[in-house]
Copies of this chain bind each other. A is one copy, B any other.
Amino acid sequence: MTRILHAAETAVAQSLAGFVAAHEELVTFGRDDKFVRRRTLSPGKVAVISGGGAGHEPLHCGFIGVGMLDAACTGHVFTSPTPDQILAAMDETDTGAGCLLVVKNYDGDVMNFEMAAEMAADRHRIETVIVEDDAAYGPSVRSRGRRGVAGTMVVEKLLGAAAERGEDLAGLKALGEGLSGRLRSMGVALRGVTLPDNTRETFALGPDEMEIGVGIHGEPGLYRTGRAGADEIVRLLCEPVLAQLSPLTDARPLLIVNGFGGTPPIELHLAHNLTRAFLRQHGIVPARALVGTFVTSLDMAGLSVTLALLTPEEFALWCAPVTTPTLVW
């Protein structure tokens, strides 16, 4: 891959094989290795299916398991999975209650999941939830609207838990759409992404620069500025998040501090502590916090802050038991 060099064409397949081998008690490859699925399906449960380009690991495959996803389709690096992959995942994991597709808001992903849903409309009941949590781009900036970033794991956890307790397709769709205005993320990059086919970084940052409002595909962010201290970085991430969140009475705030791949745990926990202090000054005390490397952009250094204002029912879904390669509680 990027720094552990390997032929780009086979790197994703090799990495997926390594992932499945490490977690074979929980997951297995689907037909022709087109996707990864739970080893054991639950008959009569809605199948929750997600996917996207490689390079964002542990998203999505790391969230397959009881209480979260049934299957995930992985494309090439930063490239959508094909409709064929998505179709195969639906065919193999729909046990009668239909399929709920969780899709990050990118043109390619939305198009390919839509195409697969159309192709399968005669044999599966299907609903789709689009994730668009990135506070960096308002709907007016890009035709497609906000990008789906680290908040995707919140949507996958809540919908997965609801499906597990027997929620039907319509209920899952309503749950996902209801969450949309109360889920926002914002990211900073301190070093760009190294693409696997060469050593080029998609955007180059000097040692004294940082990029605010980055996505997870190496695309530039909202603006570039001088490298600030951690307190200032936290402020630059949290302010747009707070400004865009729809208020909610009796909210249970969920905080996620997510590393982009090249930033170690010591820095993520430091940022987490400063984020808590910032939120406290704004009257927000997280009911739960999760700190780690969950939604990555290959080896990009940097992190994102996600805040979700959950209802008590949604918070119970977040806290519900989960057994996946990445989240276990």
Cβ-neighbour of A5 out of B58, B227, B301 (below 8 A) = B227
Tell me whether A204 is interfacial, beta carbon within 8 Å. Answer: no
Question: A230 to chain B: which residues have CB within 8 Å?
Answer: 1, 4-6, 14
Interface magnitude class on chain A: 35 or more
One of A113-121, A266-274, A310-318 at the interface: A266-274
Question: A261 to chain B: which residues have CB within 8 Å?
Answer: 264-265
Question: A18 to chain B: which residues have CB within 8 Å?
Answer: 257, 268-274, 276, 291
Question: A267 to chain B: which residues have CB within 8 Å?
Answer: 1-4, 15, 299
Q: Which of A259-288 contact B (CB under 8 A)?
A: 261-274, 276
Shortest CB distance A94–B (Å): 28
Question: A5 to chain B: which residues have CB within 8 Å?
Answer: 227-230, 233
Question: A291 to chain B: which residues have CB within 8 Å?
Answer: 18-19, 22
B264 with A298: CB separation less than 8 A: yes
Question: A270 to chain B: which residues have CB within 8 Å?
Answer: 1, 4, 6, 11, 14-15, 18
Tell me whether A304 is interfacial, beta carbon within 8 Å. Answer: no
Question: A17 to chain B: which residues have CB within 8 Å?
Answer: 273
A4 with B265: CB separation less than 8 A: no
Tell me whether A289 is interfacial, beta carbon within 8 Å. Answer: yes
Query: How many copies of the shown chain assemble into the complex?
Result: 2
Q: Which residue of B lies closest to A261 (CB)?
A: B264
A269-B15, A289-B22, A328-B329 known; A3 and B57 CB under 8 Å? no
State in angstroms the CA–CA spacing of A248 and B69 once bound together: 40
A273 with B14: CB separation less than 8 A: yes
21 pairs from A and B in contact (CB 8 Å cutoff): A2-B267, A3-B191, A3-B267, A5-B227, A14-B230, A14-B273, A15-B270, A17-B273, A18-B270, A19-B269, A21-B272, A21-B289, A22-B272, A22-B290, A62-B265, A261-B264, A264-B293, A264-B296, A266-B296, A266-B298, A293-B293
Tell me whether A207 is interfacial, beta carbon within 8 Å. Answer: yes
Shortest CB distance A129–B (Å): 24
